[in-house]
Chain A
Amino acid sequence: MAHAHYRNLEGRSLGFYAVLGLLGAITFAGLGAALYMEHHGHWVTGMSNQIVWGTPHVFAVFLIVAASGALNVASIASVFGRQLYKPLSRLSGLLALTLLAGGLAVLVLDLGRPDRLIVAMTYYNFKSIFAWNILLYTGFFAIVAVYLWMMMERRMNDYSKPAGMFAFLWRLTLTTGTGSIFGFLVARDAYDTAVMAPMFIVMSFAYGLAIYLVVLIASMRWSGRELGDVVFGRLRNLLGVFVAAVLYFVTVYHLTNLYITQRHGIEGFILLNGGAYTKMFWLGQVLIGGAVPLVILFSRLGQSRALVVLASMLVVLGGLAQMYVTIIGGQAYPMPLMPGKEVVASSFFDGMVASYSPSLPEVVLGVGGIGLALVMATFAMKVLPFLPQSLSDADADPHYKAA
């Protein structure tokens, strides 16, 4: 399409303020939960010396992964030259920024000493993947902001392709860094594998696009704009491919571990006898987050906008389940002290499956991160023209002919 036209959300309706108010309330509840946790100390949460990363990390890592994935729609236009995606690019960049902000807010507010954020910005141990990530995340903000500027400022439009290329490479590096938080951990059997980095990249494609689709469909509909079947169908099929790719990586990860005798313990735990974690894997990650969305997206059910929105939300829920299994399940399974020996007694819970149940403040903080990401995006769509005026079939595809 030659010229896409964008328009701010009018943002004067009761509905708009209701959405903004609800998301704002969720965000403030999250802040309150963080204050409560910091004031009392982490003992009021479900986290312990056994499960050191809990529900806040499930949400935080999910949001950070989804953030890099949300940028994909823009990359498809800028890097791979697909014109159809061009009018979708601004919202893609915006969501990438706000999802990352939401995820980082949760991560930082869960720190034992969030007041020392400045320390994390001024002291670096460059062997630490966390330290790389601090640079990758802050860099991502700057690069995507510049990329958005080049997309939105007509005089700078010519530079949006190189900026998009750079942002694309940066986001691949960023998700590699996020996956490697776990990939480079030698101590625990669930981690310590190079497949984590590419698996997280593919997960980001699926999570990011799922959130993008929900936000796009909702904001186009609520602002009375047309979203034609061409764009809708393209995004739906793309989501299906990404969801299938995630299942492929999950299969490879587990097959590799099943081949390694040393890792039969953790595999039995996740796949067969891990209680809540096994249920979370098969029902949450594979069925709800994988199989059901695939059926919807690739069958005639996918004609229905409502069902595709449902499928996208299931991908999000499945993604959260996948993070839960990966982060908390991976810690719950005990570490061996000596190969070939098991711990039969310990005052420090060695050798036993660690118990964990998410506490209310943790969940509220995590959901608060989603609230923050969405309230920022909603507000930004009101003040700047992120959303295309129309995505009707005739506007989206010049070769479109009404059947």
Chain B
Amino acid sequence: MSLSRREFIGIGGGAIAGITLAPGLRLVELARARSPEEAATQMQRWGLLIDIGRCQDCDVCVTACRTENGWYGHNRPATDPQWIRKVTLKDNQTGYVESLPVLCQHCEEPPCVDVCPTGASFKRADGIVLVDKHICIGCRYCMMACPYKARSFVHEDTINQKSYAPRGKGTVESCTLCVHRVDAGKIPACVEACTKDGNQAMVFGDLKDPNSGINKHLAAGPSTPLRPDLNLNTGVRYRGV
């Protein structure tokens, strides 16, 4: 079989195009499970659904978070940090009582990021709200601005720090949505603990993936953010509040 010059260019060109484009097309498909070395992208938005009906009178989520991230205090409740806490709410009209965990709500429009003078308080492309400990000057304006009281100021020297969750005296900190675990393809420590405990009150996932578990749960029933009046489009939503 002999190829004319024209046929050779045609087939050759097609082959080169295939070799060049195929990995690109493949990459689009792989982007949802990126490696830790790659930057976070807007293709994901990480979120959490907390079902109050399933939330028991326990604090495994709090304990798991503290152990995972090492925010140990000094037995001084007013100044010790709390990245996640259990809160009991009572309906003013009906007296109905319910218990729920409160943590950084990872707002789409975070007031803490708006007010931060240096940009230390920032939102990652995938929606996780974090504090850059290197440029936080400790002004605490973000703590004034956060409607959820989600942030703590490190009032004294830290002990037993984790390498993946750095803390610093004189800077502000809060829930990172276990960004070090999420980047490694795992779920946050609180969610894992709640699931292991059998409560299954927390569902974590990608709010931008129509097929994710969290989106199926959100589509199947009602849910609401805390302080819906502020219209912050939080990444954390609650069912049954």
| A contacts, CB < 8 Å to B | 38, 40-43, 48-50, 52-53, 111-114, 116-117, 119-120, 123-125, 127-131, 134, 181, 184-188, 331, 335-351, 355
Given contacts A128-B114, A340-B92, contact A49 B141 (CB under 8 A): no
Q: Which residues of chain A have C-beta atoms less than 8 A from B140's C-beta?
A: 52-53, 112
Identity of the chain A residue whose Cβ is nearest the Cβ of B74 in the assembled complex: A43
B47 CB within 8 Å of chain A = no
Chain B 143-179 interface 0/1 with A at a Cβ cutoff of 8 Å (1 = within) = 1111111011111110000000000111110000000
Whether B145 pairs with A113 at a CB distance below 8 angstroms is: no
User: Per a CB cutoff under 8 Å, which of A187, A348, A351 touches B146?
Assistant: A187
Whether A350 pairs with B137 at a CB distance below 8 angstroms is: no
Q: Which of B76, B114, B149 has the most CB of A within 10 A?
A: B149
Whether A125 pairs with B117 at a CB distance below 8 angstroms is: yes
Whether A124 pairs with B117 at a CB distance below 8 angstroms is: yes
B78–chain A nearest beta-carbon distance, Å: 4
| B contacts, CB < 8 Å to A | 74, 76-82, 85-93, 97, 99, 102, 111, 113-120, 135-141, 143-149, 151-157, 168-172, 226-230, 241
Q: Which residues of chain B have C-beta atoms less than 8 A from A339's C-beta?
A: 227-229
Q: Please, how many angstroms separate the alpha-carbon atoms of A340 and B114 in the complex?
A: 27
Q: Which residues of chain B have C-beta atoms less than 8 A from A50's C-beta?
A: 78
Interchain Cβ contacts under 8 Å between A and B, 28 examples: A38-B170, A41-B155, A42-B79, A43-B79, A43-B156, A48-B155, A49-B78, A49-B81, A49-B152, A112-B169, A112-B170, A120-B118, A123-B135, A124-B119, A128-B115, A130-B115, A130-B116, A130-B139, A131-B118, A184-B115, A186-B147, A338-B241, A341-B89, A341-B92, A341-B241, A343-B88, A346-B85, A349-B78
Q: Please, how many angstroms separate the alpha-carbon atoms of A131 and B80 in the complex?
A: 28
Q: Which residues of chain A have C-beta atoms less than 8 A from B168's C-beta?
A: 113
User: Per a CB cutoff under 8 Å, which of A40, A184, A338 touches B156?
Assistant: A40
Whether B137 pairs with A116 at a CB distance below 8 angstroms is: yes
Whether B89 pairs with A338 at a CB distance below 8 angstroms is: yes
Given contacts A41-B155, A53-B140, A331-B144, contact A186 B90 (CB under 8 A): no
Q: Please, how many angstroms separate the alpha-carbon atoms of A238 and B92 in the complex?
A: 49
Q: Across the A-B interface, give the 4 residue pairs with the lowest CB-CB distance, nearest first.
A: A112-B138, A112-B170, A130-B117, A41-B156
B127–chain A nearest beta-carbon distance, Å: 18
Identity of the chain A residue whose Cβ is nearest the Cβ of B79 in the assembled complex: A43
Identity of the chain B residue whose Cβ is nearest the Cβ of A346 in the assembled complex: B87
